[in-house]
């Protein structure tokens, strides 16, 4: 039986996919190790929004008390699942983003049909699509939430995963997907869009006479980092209310909770917070999130662009 031949274009597509997955995974893991203490702090601050007596007075107090009572290990408590999740999320994000961009470039009848010279509108479409697809990975990883209290007496991630699937089924791993879908879709547009706009502005400063529609191939390392930092800040400020994890709180596995409150929805939690705490409640923990998202996004794009620059063209 004849074995179908693989065309050069198909081989190139496979190589591109492997590189997108590899580069995205590495960038995501590096950034997650850096940002984990800040993300832990954000989740703990959000979890106390509806409490009568908050445990923490702010992000600095939260980080200080975590360090004081739980030590260095406390700041990195529960790190392995988020690192694995970050690798998967960024792999899917960059893979989907680049594939959609290439597809739009292929279908574009205009003379500009190269993904590296794509109009900004196509970049935004690809970013939104990539964010929507990635939301299913992000929401799944949210099934293993970060600890809001000291975890020394609680089970590990594997046991929690088993408990969630046993009591809620596979669907339980995607609890809170409404907010995640909104966050990742809109956030993808904001994240890639702002990065692209800032990058183009930076490139135009040192290459004013060169016509370019995409900045990545021309970016210096510090420019990738700066553009990524701006993207992280914009993404956080615009989409932060959709990132609230309170929807997860009422659905803790009964085995590890003293009681099981009624189920709540993303919209219900959103309205309750706004009614009781206003806009300030919706942005609880936003400050510390901005402090970690700026350098974290800078790291992601710095690492990804550097890998793409050194290995992407080989």
Tokens of 199: 């990058």
The model's pLDDT over 46-57, given as tens digits with 9 standing for 90+, comes to 777 666 777 888
Q: How many CA atoms lie within 13 A of 60 on its CB side?
A: 0
Chain-centroid distance of CA 213 in Å reads 26
pLDDT at 106: 75
The yes-or-no verdict on residue 261 having pLDDT over 70 is: no
The model's pLDDT over 20-34, given as tens digits with 9 standing for 90+, comes to 999 999 999 999 998
Give, rounded to a whole angstrom, the gap between the first and last alpha carbons of the chain.
Answer: 34
Return the axis-axis angle of helices 177-206 and 221-239, rounded to nearest 10°: 140
pLDDT at 253: 44
pLDDT at 226: 95
The yes-or-no verdict on residue 298 having pLDDT over 90 is: yes
The yes-or-no verdict on residue 88 having pLDDT over 80 is: yes
How far apart, in whole angstroms, are the C-alpha atoms of residue 285 and residue 241? 10
Percent of the chain at pLDDT > 90 equals 25
Determine the 3-state secondary structure of 2 from DSSP.
coil
The yes-or-no verdict on residue 93 having pLDDT over 60 is: yes
How far apart, in whole angstroms, are the C-alpha atoms of residue 314 and residue 309? 9
The yes-or-no verdict on residue 67 having pLDDT over 60 is: yes
H or E segment and range at residue 183: helix 177-206
Contact criterion met (CB below 8 Å) for 188 and 130 = yes
How far apart, in whole angstroms, are the C-alpha atoms of residue 93 and residue 87? 10
Q: SS3 breakdown of the chain: % helix, strand, coil, rounded to 5?
A: 75, 0, 25
pTM higher than 0.85? no
Closest CA to 28 of 221, 299, 236, 240: 299
H or E segment and range at residue 143: none
The model's pLDDT over 213-253, given as tens digits with 9 standing for 90+, comes to 455 556 889 999 999 999 999 988 887 776 655 444 444 44
Q: pLDDT-based confidence at 151, cuts 50/70/90?
A: very low
Q: Which domains does the chain have, with CATH numbers?
A: 13-311 (1.50.40.10)
Average pLDDT of the chain to the nearest whole number: 75
pLDDT at 114: 46
Q: Identify the sign of the CA torsion 66, 69, 74, 78.
A: negative
**Which residue intervals of 48-119 are DSSP H helices?**
59-75, 80-107
Tokens of 42: 């954000």
């Amino acid at each position: 039986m004849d074995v179908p031949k693989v065309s050069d274009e198909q081989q190139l597509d496979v190589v591109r996919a492997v590189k997108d997955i590899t580069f995205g995974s590495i960038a995501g893991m590096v950034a997650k190790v850096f940002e984990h203490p800040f993300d832990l702090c954000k989740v703990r601050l959000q979890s106390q929004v509806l409490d009568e007596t908050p445990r923490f007075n702010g992000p600095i107090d939260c980080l200080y008390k975590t360090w004081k009572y739980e030590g260095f290990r406390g700041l990195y408590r529960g790190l392995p699942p988020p690192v694995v999740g970050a690798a998967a999320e960024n792999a899917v994000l960059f893979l989907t983003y680049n594939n959609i961009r290439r597809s739009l470039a292929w279908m574009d009848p205009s003379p500009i049909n190269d993904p590296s010279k794509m109009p900004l509108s196509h970049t935004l479409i690809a970013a939104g699509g990539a964010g929507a697809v990635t939301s299913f990975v992000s929401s799944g990883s949210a099934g293993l939430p970060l600890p809001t209290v000291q975890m020394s007496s609680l089970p590990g991630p594997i046991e929690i995963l088993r408990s969630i699937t046993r009591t809620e089924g596979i669907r339980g791993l995607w609890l809170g997907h409404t907010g995640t879908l909104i966050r990742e879709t809109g956030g993808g547009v904001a994240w890639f869009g702002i990065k692209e706009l800032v990058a183009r502005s930076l490139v135009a400063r040192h290459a004013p006479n060169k016509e370019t529609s995409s900045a990545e191939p021309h970016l210096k390392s510090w420019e990738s980092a700066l553009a990524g930092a701006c993207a992280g800040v914009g993404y956080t400020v615009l989409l932060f209310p959709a990132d609230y994890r309170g929807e997860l709180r009422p659905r803790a596995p009964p085995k590890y909770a003293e009681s099981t409150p009624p189920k709540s929805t993303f919209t219900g939690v959103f309205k309750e917070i706004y009614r009781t705490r206003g806009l300030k409640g919706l942005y609880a923990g936003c400050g510390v999130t901005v402090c970690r998202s700026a350098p974290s996004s800078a790291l992601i794009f710095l690492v990804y662009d550097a890998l793409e620059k050194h290995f992407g063209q080989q």
